[in-house]
Structure 1
Amino acid sequence: MLQVQGVLKSYATPQGSLAVLAGVDLHLGERSSLALMGESGSGKSTLLHLVAGLDRVDGGSIRVGEQRLDQLNEAQLAHWRRTEIGLVFQQFNLIGSLRVDDNLAFQARLAGRFDSQWQAQLVERLGLGDLLKRYPEQLSGGQQQRVAVGRALASRPGLLLADEPTGNLDEATSDDVLQLLLDLLRDTPTSLLMVTHSPRIAARLDQQVVLHRGRVVPADAR
């Protein structure tokens, strides 16, 4: 599902070029989950943004399914993001002016793949039935993140990218949201790449790797 090969990424700073990724290799199979860990500033979010097509590599390649992202122009990348991946963020990023039911359907409608039966199943399994007519500001953090998970999975994307998705939640709520996410993934063709600082959360996924000195190493290799 995901192949990252020799990816390089640097940023200009007043002190000169800063190399963040120095030849990253990563592989994620279909229907698999992988936790990406690393110290603050190691480039975890940078790599996730590259895989999401939100930024461009300086070298190397990223392939998601049959598509090489470095071969797409900006319009093609925007269409690809709408239709082929799901995104879950630490800050939830729900649309404040939309009620829960419309937030849930938003990504699937953009992708042209809204399925009312699948949406109803997501609502039931995420425990959102009594919340559909509320607005995000009327929800707890855990409830908002459940909506964000449902929105990301509503279009049945091939790849779900999650950046510290439980980072703003207490431990018990974090465990509940993660369990719901993993249960749903078992019933979809979706693979999961999750950035997390928590070894406890990472251990729940199929694979764990660490970004260290600009490269990916097994979690137990440092």
Structure 2
Amino acid sequence: MLQVDDLIKHYPTAQGPLQVLDGVSLQLAPGESLALMGESGSGKSTLLHLIAGLDRPDSGCIAVNGQRLDGLNESALARWRRSGIGLVFQQFNLIGSLKVADNLAFQARLAGRHDRAWQAQLAQRLGLNGLLDRYPEQLSGGQQQRLAIGRALAARPALLLADEPTGNLDEASSDDVMQLLMELLADSPTSLLMVTHSPRIAARLARRVVLHNGRLDDAAAH
């Protein structure tokens, strides 16, 4: 479902090019979950952003469901992001001017796949039913993250990309959010690639790989 081959990425610095990714390759099967770990600065978020089409590699290939990203221009990439993937970030990135119900539906409407029955099921399973008329600022951190996950899953994406999605939550809220996420994914063909620094969170996913100095550490793969 996800095929990443020999990605290389540099960023310019005052001291010259800084190599962030050095020949990274990985695969993810339909419905599979993978934790991407590594120390700060190892290239985890860079890799996630490249797979999301938010940045471009210097060389290498990324394909999602057979769609190669390197051949897409910016407008085609934007259309692909709306329909092909779901994104969940540590910062939630909810739309403050929209109520919970409209935030939940936002991605699915952009993708042209709004399904009222599926949205109602998500709201119920995420514990948001009694909060649909509130605004994001009226929710707790855990509720906001559950809403962000629901928004990403409402469009039934083939691939969910999550960058430290529980990093702003306390341990209890983090465990609650992860439990709900894994239950929802178990009932869908959506694949999950999650950046996390937490071995406890990573242990919930099917596989783990570690980025070190811009390369995947095969010895640390599980």
Asked if TM exceeds 0.5, the reply is yes
Are the equivalent residues in 2 in contact too, given 1:208–1:219 (CA < 8 A)? no
What residue identity is the alignment partner of 1:200?
R
Aligned residue number for residue 199 of structure 1? 199
- Partner SS, residue 129 of structure 2: coil
Aligned structure 1 segments of 4 or more residues deviating by more than 6 angstroms: none
Aligned residue number for residue 29 of structure 2? 29
Aligned residue number for residue 146 of structure 2? 146
Q: Is structure 2 residue 185 aligned with structure 1 residue 185?
A: yes
- Once residues 93 and 67 of structure 2 are traced to their aligned partners in structure 1, the CA distance between those partners, rounded to angstroms, is 27
Are the equivalent residues in 2 in contact too, given 1:208–1:218 (CA < 8 A)? no
TM-score using structure 1 length: 0.98
CA RMSD of aligned residues (A): 0.8
- Once residues 68 and 140 of structure 1 are traced to their aligned partners in structure 2, the CA distance between those partners, rounded to angstroms, is 39
Aligned residue number for residue 116 of structure 1? 116
Aligned length: 221
Offset, 1:219: 6.2
Per-residue deviation, residues 90-135 of structure 1 (Å, max 9, x unmatched): 0100000000000000000000000000001001100101100000
What residue identity is the alignment partner of 2:156?
R
- Once residues 57 and 65 of structure 2 are traced to their aligned partners in structure 1, the CA distance between those partners, rounded to angstroms, is 18
Gaps of 5+ in 2: none
- Once residues 13 and 105 of structure 1 are traced to their aligned partners in structure 2, the CA distance between those partners, rounded to angstroms, is 40
Are the equivalent residues in 2 in contact too, given 1:89–1:162 (CA < 8 A)? yes
Are the equivalent residues in 2 in contact too, given 1:33–1:206 (CA < 8 A)? yes
What residue identity is the alignment partner of 1:125?
R
Offset, 1:214: 1.0
Aligned residue number for residue 65 of structure 1? 65
- Once residues 216 and 207 of structure 1 are traced to their aligned partners in structure 2, the CA distance between those partners, rounded to angstroms, is 13
Aligned residue number for residue 74 of structure 1? 74
1:5-44 to structure 2, matched below 5 A, reads: 5-44=5-44
Offset, 1:218: 3.5
What residue identity is the alignment partner of 2:173?
T
- Once residues 68 and 202 of structure 1 are traced to their aligned partners in structure 2, the CA distance between those partners, rounded to angstroms, is 28
Aligned residue number for residue 171 of structure 2? 171
Q: Is structure 2 residue 90 aligned with structure 1 residue 90?
A: yes
Aligned residue number for residue 210 of structure 1? 210
- Once residues 92 and 43 of structure 2 are traced to their aligned partners in structure 1, the CA distance between those partners, rounded to angstroms, is 21
Are the equivalent residues in 2 in contact too, given 1:21–1:215 (CA < 8 A)? yes
Aligned residue number for residue 2 of structure 2? 2
Identity of aligned residues (%): 74
TM-score using structure 2 length: 0.98
- Partner SS, residue 16 of structure 1: coil
